[in-house]
Structure 1
Amino acid sequence: MQLGALLTRLSDENDAAVALDALGDVVLLAQIQEMGEQHDETPGEYVANASRRYAAQAGDEDWLALMTAIERADDPARVVLGKMLRWALASDAAPAPATSGGCSCGSGGCDDHR
């Protein structure tokens, strides 16, 4: 399966839930259930949203690591899903960046707030 097709399939929460179950990683499943509850999402919703966020927000190093892992994997789809989910869990667990001046842009000198 091509990466684009996998990402498209993961955007459907039912397919995402099936893929999560197929991983068979009970620790990862528990982490996703816990984080999903914090964001008011089912595990399938969390997986679908995590794959979207990875596609939109992952950095070049994240993508390079993913491509390298895919090349070495016996089951590339499993590797992709696992890496995306662990990336999303780490991102969600990280503290929100501090902003100054109440502006979400973080500049503290935003023209919108002067």
Structure 2
Amino acid sequence: MLLGDIIARLTDETTATQTIVDLGDLGLLADMRKQAEDNGVSLGAYAAWTVRTYADNASSDEWTNLMGALNRSDDPGATCLQRAFGYVLTGIAESAAVAD
């Protein structure tokens, strides 16, 4: 699967929600639910926004790091979502507003 396909799938709310749940990472799930609630959107909408924000704002170094992580990953969608959420949580994209 190509990176563009992964990103396109994760910008769909239903797919993004299912990917988060399938990760089995309760900490990530709780953090994303809190952020979604804080922004007044559903978990899927927040996850999709996170991936779009990452795709629109990540530096070329971050893209290089993502590509390396994807090459070592058994689940590229989960890896992309985890990196996107980590990117947004670090405040790199804090000026962007969550939109449905």
TM-score range, shorter chain: 0.7 to 0.9
Q: TM-score when scaled to structure 1? A: 0.74
Matches within 5 A, 1:1-114: 1-91=1-91
Structure 1 residues 24 and 92: alpha-carbon distance in aligned structure 2, compared to 1, 3 A threshold:
farther
| Structure 1 residue 76: Cα displacement | 2.3
Q: Which has the larger radius of gyration?
A: 1
| Alignment gaps of 5+ in structure 2 | 96-100
Q: Deviations over 1:23-48 (max 9, x none)?
A: 11000011101111111111111110
The one of the two structures with greater contact order (alpha-carbon pairs below 8 A, sep at least 6) is: 2
| Structure 1 residue 52: Cα displacement | 0.4
| Structure 1 residue 16: Cα displacement | 0.9
RMSD in angstroms over aligned alpha carbons? 1.8
| Alignment gaps of 5+ in structure 1 | 97-114
Identical aligned residues as a percent? 35
Q: TM-score when scaled to structure 2? A: 0.84
Runs of 4 or more, structure 1, over 6 Å off, are none
